[in-house]
Amino acid sequence: MSNNQQTSDESRSSGIVVSGTRPTGALHLGHLNGALKNWVQLQKTARCFFFVADWHALTTDYAEPGGIAENTRAMILDWLAVGLDPDVSVLFRQSQVPEHAELHLLFSMIIPVPWLERVPSYKEQQDQLQGRDLSTYGFLGYPLLQSADILLYKAARVPVGEDQLPHVELTREVARRFNRFYGPVFPEPTGMVVEAARVPGTDGRKMSKSYGNAVALTDDADAVHTKLVRMVTDPRRQRRSDPGDPKDCPAFRLHEIYCTEQERAEVTQGCRTASIGCVDCKKVMIRRVQDELAPIQERRRELTLRRGITEEVLAEGRKQAAAVAETTMGEVRGAMGLL
Ligand code: TRP
Ligand code: SF4
């Protein structure tokens, strides 16, 4: 593809943002700080497509798909409660826009299997999720379905966690190969990793529902307190009189997100001189987390009173997503000689 073409392709789709989340359970502070706050900002300046990746959930949870519908509903409520606006962004459910599957199928015709076997998450996830048979066709194709999700909307930018960058890289290669065979249809998207926040869970590992270390967006003030007051700290602070250092303290990562510079300076001094205990230190931060979650939970409560709200939002999102998806598929079918 010539440079010229690339430039015109990029400007045509300038600003389009696409991202998705698998509906695997209650959203937590990791999602909020790692993705959602960023999405809420992005929707102010860019055309955004955010979707519930329910087919992607099936690639690992195919034997027990029971939670998917309810988790999808809960996720939409969480999204609305944190400020994603269905009048501004397109919020939809992947399986309700079957063009994702069609594009995935067509990509599967042209992508060599070793490209997929090489994606690092393929082996990693198989190792991590032992006890499930992940030698399926669909699981191998996981990142190719993701490529279809992204390219269907001609995204310029894809906000994701760092672990997803290889999938965006694959997407660029898929776009290049397609364009080389059939002419320029797809721009190459860029992955955007949010600096802010890799939020540790209460045990210090990455926050994740499956580790049981998460603070959910729906946890009330007491639950937040109970969880965070027990969060692991600098192991050197065995006794109250032992000094520690915030830079070795998982709990302090939350101070970095939630507290003012002044507050951080004060507890840092207190920690290093053992003039403050961990419980008092954490109180400052716990308060902020509670204050952030309270209005989110209030909005969520109001939303749950509006019966059918998630179905309404999804129906509207589906309509808007399908319009774009149909246009792209028209071009794809034409380019591949399918018209
Ligand atoms: N694989 C992503 C995750 O696990 C979810 C996802 C599916 C996605 N399709 C996408 C993210 C398209 C960005 C763009 O987090
Ligand atoms: Fe962490 Fe604060 Fe305890 Fe220091 S005093 S170890 S920063 S919780």
Check if 164 has its Cβ closer than 6 Å to any atom of ligand 1. Answer: yes
Strand 157-160 and strand 190-193: the pairing is parallel
According to the model, what pLDDT value does residue 108 have? 98
- Ligand 1 atom nearest to CA at 18: 14
Question: In which element (H, E) is residue 50 found?
Answer: strand 48-52
Could you report the per-residue pLDDT of 163-213, keeping only the tens digit for each? Answer: 899 999 999 999 999 999 999 999 999 999 986 667 899 999 989 888 899
* The one-letter amino acid at 325: A
DSSP code per residue over 151-171: HTTT-SEEEE-GGGHHHHHHH
Quote the mean pLDDT of the chain.
93
* Window from 9-13, 16-20, 104-108, 280-284 with minimum mean pLDDT: 9-13
Ligand (nearest to CA of 56): 1
* Domain ranges (residues) in the chain: 3-199+307-335, 221-300
d(CA 162, CA 194): 8
CATH number of the 3-199+307-335 domain: 3.40.50.620
Mean pLDDT of the 34-38 span? 94
Say yes or no to pLDDT of 285 above 80: yes
Q: Is 24 in the pocket of ligand 1 (CB under 6 A)?
A: no
pLDDT value for 196:
60
Identify whether the C-beta of residue 271 lies closer than 8 Å to the C-beta of residue 245.
Answer: yes
Helices vs. strands in the chain: H and E counts, helices first: 16, 5
- What pLDDT, on a 0 to 100 scale, did the predictor assign at position 209? 85
Q: What is the pLDDT of residue 25?
A: 82
Predicted model pTM? 0.92
Read off the pLDDT band of 9 (50, 70, 90).
very low
In angstroms, the Cα distances linking 32 to 38, 158, 217, 236 are 8, 17, 8, 30
Pick the CATH number of 221-300 from 3.40.50.11060, 1.10.240.10, 3.40.50.740, 3.30.930.10: 1.10.240.10
Residue 12 predicted with pLDDT over 90: no
Buried b (16+ CB within 10 A) or exposed e, 241-255: eeebebeebbbbbbb
pLDDT digits (tens, 9 = 90+) for 73-92: 999 999 999 999 999 999 99
What local confidence, expressed as pLDDT, does residue 131 receive?
A: 86
- Give the distance (Å) from ligand 2 centre to CA of residue 169: 39
Q: Which mutation among 149, 163, 190, 193 tests ligand 1's pocket best, with the greatest number of atoms within 8 A of CB?
A: 149
* 104 alpha carbon, closest ligand: 1
Mean pLDDT of 123-137: 89
